[in-house]
């Protein structure tokens, strides 16, 4: 079972690697890792399980956060009380986005960053992501609001980018007037 301690900390230089595209069929180890990522993300959003297993809550994870420089990610989005939509996408690319920009009002978080960071991360309100499922079938996902932010955040990981990189160091709330808080 995946634990919080298995997730790379922001100080780990591997998080800055640009991940390599995967080929199909996916290796058995990658399929198993994806299942453990889904299990972690699901359990981390269920309070009693997060507490029992000492898991930091998260809704998305990129393979590189586990030290695997491959282009796949998982997102487990809570849509109701202990009810989730699960997304697994390999070699994802954002193929279109809205003009409207949003940001997480409470501040964006990350399983690899264990500190509070002041500032806003401007993100597109809507994105369309293309990639492949675990069997190599082409998929397209249209995401809005919180889910759109999660996809942008995780795809950034695959490109060696962490969310604080988007925050203006001198003016952490710069652009706030051109974005909608969610």
The pLDDT tens digits of the residues spanning 93-104 come to 999 999 999 999
Is residue 82 flagged as an active site residue?
Answer: no
Burial 53-92 (b: 16+ CB within 10 A, else e): bebeebbbbbbbbbebebbbbbbbbbeeeeebeebbbbbb
pTM beyond 0.85: the answer is yes
- pLDDT at position 8 is 98
The CATH homologous superfamily to which domain 4-181 belongs is Peptide deformylase (3.90.45.10)
- Give the whole-angstrom CA distance, residue 103 versus residue 94: 18
Average pLDDT of the chain, as a whole number: 97
- pLDDT at position 153 is 98
Note the maximum CA span of the chain: 47
The position carrying tokens 């309070």 is 47
Cα dihedral value 13, 16, 108, 126, nearest 10: -160
Mean pLDDT by runs of 10 across the 182 residues of the chain is: 95 98 97 98 97 96 98 97 97 98 96 95 98 98 98 98 96 94 96
- Give the whole-angstrom CA distance, residue 180 versus residue 100: 8
Q: Which of 29, 39, 100, 154 is catalytic?
A: 154
Give the residue extent of every domain in the chain.
4-181
- Give the whole-angstrom CA distance, residue 143 versus residue 120: 20
């Amino acid at each position: 079972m995946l634990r919080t301690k298995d997730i790379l900390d922001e100080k780990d230089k591997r998080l800055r690697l640009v991940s390599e595209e995967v080929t199909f069929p996916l290796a058995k180890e990658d399929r198993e890792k994806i299942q453990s990522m889904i299990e972690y993300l699901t359990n981390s959003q269920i309070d009693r399980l997060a507490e029992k297993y000492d898991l930091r809550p998260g809704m998305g994870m990129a393979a590189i956060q586990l030290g695997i420089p491959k282009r796949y990610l998982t997102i487990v989005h809570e849509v109701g009380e202990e009810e989730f939509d699960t997304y697994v996408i390999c070699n994802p690319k954002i193929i279109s986005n809205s003009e409207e920009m949003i940001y997480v009002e409470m501040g964006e978080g990350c399983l690899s960053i264990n500190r509070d960071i002041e500032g806003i991360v401007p993100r597109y309100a809507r994105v369309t992501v293309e990639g492949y499922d675990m069997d190599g079938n082409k998929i397209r996902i249209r995401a809005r609001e919180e889910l759109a932010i999660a996809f942008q955040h995780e795809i950034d990981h695959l490109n060696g980018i962490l969310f604080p990189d988007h925050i203006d160091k001198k003016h952490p709330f710069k652009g706030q007037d051109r974005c909608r808080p969610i």
